[in-house]
Structure 1
């Protein structure tokens, strides 16, 4: 029985490690990623967006707690949905969500390219989450 080992360079990095690093760097250089990063920074630096995010998160947390205790109702759900719509109505937030969606689609395409070479779904397994 033979055990295969990866060839490593002087720093201990394997070729796969090096290629993964290059792959990550290539992703950050894609215009779609740059658009996402700019949109994310815009949301982080927008005072109104941050206030609405905090408001939405507080309402969501209250609703989740109410749901766990069996006290959630339609009014609470409507309040949560209204806060989410109010947040998404901001131009800076809608731009961020559009950029995020486009990036996620592109990353899924890249996942499929990598997965074609493997016998597992690379993105699913690399994510570290267990699914039934």
Structure 2
């Protein structure tokens, strides 16, 4: 392994550590733990997941209707309105914004669009 590759890997590890130490990541971890430790949130998550699963099964079988879709949406709104869940979602969004910002900063210098390159290899 070249020295440059080892240095880049070291920088990657360091970046991961810095992200883990960021206020956004710490807030997300705390919010996640709060949701995991909240019995009401866990029950609402279980109920929402069950409704969503039933809806998906019904949709696959061609039995889903608008009312069942509205039931799933209502359960999701109720879950998201729970204060502990709203804090989790806000923290998740903040962390996603931070990671997107970091990703953009990393991508500036190489100026490579890997998504655009995925369609084919070695085309001129």
TM-score normalised per structure 2: 0.86
Structural mapping, 1:1-132, within 5 Å: 6-7=2-3, 14-121=6-113
Give the Cα separation in 1 of the matches to 2:30 and 2:112: 33
Corresponding pairs, count? 117
Q: 2:3 is paired with a residue of what secondary structure?
A: coil
Uncovered stretches (5+) of structure 2, i.e. residues with no partner: 120-124
Which has more helix, going by share of residues? Answer: 2
Deviations 1:13-33 (A, max 9, x none): 811111111000000111111
Q: 1:78 aligns to what SS in structure 2?
A: helix
> Unaligned stretches of 5+ in structure 1?
125-129
The structure showing larger relative contact order (alpha-carbon pairs under 8 Å, at least 6 residues apart) is 2
Provide TM-score, normalisation by structure 1. Answer: 0.81
Q: CA RMSD in A?
A: 2.0
